[in-house]
Structure 1
Amino acid sequence: MKLDKTLIVTEALALLNQVGIDALSTRLLAERLKVQQPALYWHFKNKRALLDAMNDEMLRRGHRHRAPQAGESWQDFVRNNARSFRGALVAWRDGARVHAGTEANPDSLERFEAMLRFLVGHGMLAQNAMQLLLAVGRYTVGCVLEEQADAPEGPGRGAELDAAAQAYPLLSAAILAYRAGGHEAQFESGLALLVAGAEARLIGTSGAEKGRSAKVSEPDAEPVRQWQLPL
């Protein structure tokens, strides 16, 4: 069997599902591939490089909504993109931990530029669009991290907290709603808040631009200096 990067990553992902990220090691992977451990370092200089490649493959397989679709609103794109990203991470054991700490692959920079261009085309400032994408991405990773860190349910799990929360009616009702919704519902709730915040910011930015333009158009208005423009 010829050892190459594709085979190594494929087997590393399979091993990840079996043992989890804490137990994943180049030694175990070499045993699985029936090669000597140093053979892996011809292809990946360390475990971090291997994890980066595993992350790329997880997203390649599972992240299906990475670009805006024809006729899609920016709100729908942000939501669909986040859902697709979440799906790619939850498909693998410790998927969020594999992704955390990775950097964008240089091959994906053109796609990120297109995403920013799409959002800017809907009226966002480039830096605000970048902040939105980062916030949604990190929120998604955090949600999956919490979801995948959940301990198995057991007898009486949460009973002590529920009993103590009875003294706090608002908290008790909120906990009940939280548990009834589950991970996906909670993810959707937070995602809706992020999109709503971006909508409000966009409206505010547009209003500020209109007000600034009106002032500049007045006969006695001073010229707008470059440093006065929004960042």
Structure 2
Amino acid sequence: MATTRLDRKTVARTALDLLNQTGLEGLTLRAIAKELDVKAPALYWHFKDKQALLDEMATEMMRRMSAEFLAAPDADWRTALTTSMRGMREHLLRYRDGAKVFSGTRYTDLSYAAPMEAHLRTLTSAGFTPGAAARAWSTVYSFTIGHVIEEQASGPAPDTGEGGYDLAARAERLADYPLAAAAGEEIFRAHDRGFEAGLAAVVAGIGATLAARRAQPGAARGQEGAARG
């Protein structure tokens, strides 16, 4: 048996390495133990169940994203959100079912705090209230996670290239619904273009609904004149 000392990070990193082979459903503590050349009960010292393991895996992904691109956002809030979410999507796509692993988990340390603080500070410096900044970050983050979950569910497996929607069969089933049938190519194939279009729409919407409203000088003078009149 291996004599390397196990810790939570080692187990999580091994699990992430296995994801492309097994997918989320096939990822078990037993399979991870075999990869580490230990007996499965050894892992229960560190993780009481699979959810605890997923929490640590998501935290490890966040550590990597923070080190690579999240920690130093651009001073322009639009660029900061766009660049960080592009990076998050690219990172999640490295792992089979990566977005499913990442979503709905609880971080096991504060690795998320510094990049989150930096992005919220960029937004508040641009005039967002703290609440609006939090909502802006949550909205663009949720869009990205949701997009990648659907993208990975509809696309081929990264290790084999197999799977994915059969668009021809789908179109045949939807023969009486031509617009829904034609939408398949946009929804299930054009992932890069679709993500960019959706992200741009979300960022534009944030600017239109959550950014601080500043009155135009001319409009302010007009309102003042109307009040005097």
Which residue is equivalent to 1:123?
A: 127
Deviations 1:116-157 (A, max 9, x none): 122011011111111111111111111111111125478x92
Alpha carbons 1:82, 1:140 under 8 Å: kept: yes
Q: Alignment identity in percent?
A: 37
Q: In structure 2, what residue type is equivalent to 1:134? A: S
Which residue is equivalent to 1:195?
A: 203
Deviation at 1:110? 3.8
Matched, 1:27 2:30: yes
Alpha carbons 1:62, 1:87 under 8 Å: kept: no
Structure of higher RCO (CA pairs closer than 8 Å, 6+ residues apart): 2
Cα distance change, pair 9–175 in 1 and its aligned pair in 2 (3 A) = closer
Counterpart CA distance in 1 for 2:63 and 2:29 is 23
Deviation at 1:176? 5.1
Matched, 1:103 2:106: yes
TM-score relative to the length of structure 1: 0.77
Quick one: which of 141, 144, 147 aligns to 1:143? 147
Which residue is equivalent to 1:89?
A: 92
Counterpart CA distance in 2 for 1:43 and 1:203 is 44
Deviation at 1:15? 1.8
Counterpart CA distance in 2 for 1:75 and 1:194 is 10
Deviations 1:73-122 (A, max 9, x none): 11000000101111111111110111111134434324322321220110
Alpha carbons 1:59, 1:85 under 8 Å: kept: no
Counterpart CA distance in 2 for 1:88 and 1:75 is 20
C-alpha root-mean-square deviation of aligned residues, in Å?
3.1
5+ unaligned residues in a row in structure 1: which ranges?
A: 220-231
Counterpart CA distance in 2 for 1:175 and 1:24 is 30
Q: In structure 2, what residue type is equivalent to 1:120? A: T
Quick one: which of 167, 177, 189 aligns to 1:158? 167
Deviations 1:136-190 (A, max 9, x none): 1111111111111125478x922244357676676566555556x7111101111
Deviates more, 1:4-13 or 1:80-89: 4-13
5+ unaligned residues in a row in structure 2: which ranges?
A: 157-161
Cα distance change, pair 116–33 in 1 and its aligned pair in 2 (3 A) = same
Which residue is equivalent to 1:183?
A: 191
Cα distance change, pair 38–76 in 1 and its aligned pair in 2 (3 A) = same
Counterpart CA distance in 2 for 1:185 and 1:49 is 35
TM-score relative to the length of structure 2: 0.77
Alpha carbons 2:127, 2:212 under 8 Å: kept: no
Which residue is equivalent to 1:5?
A: 8
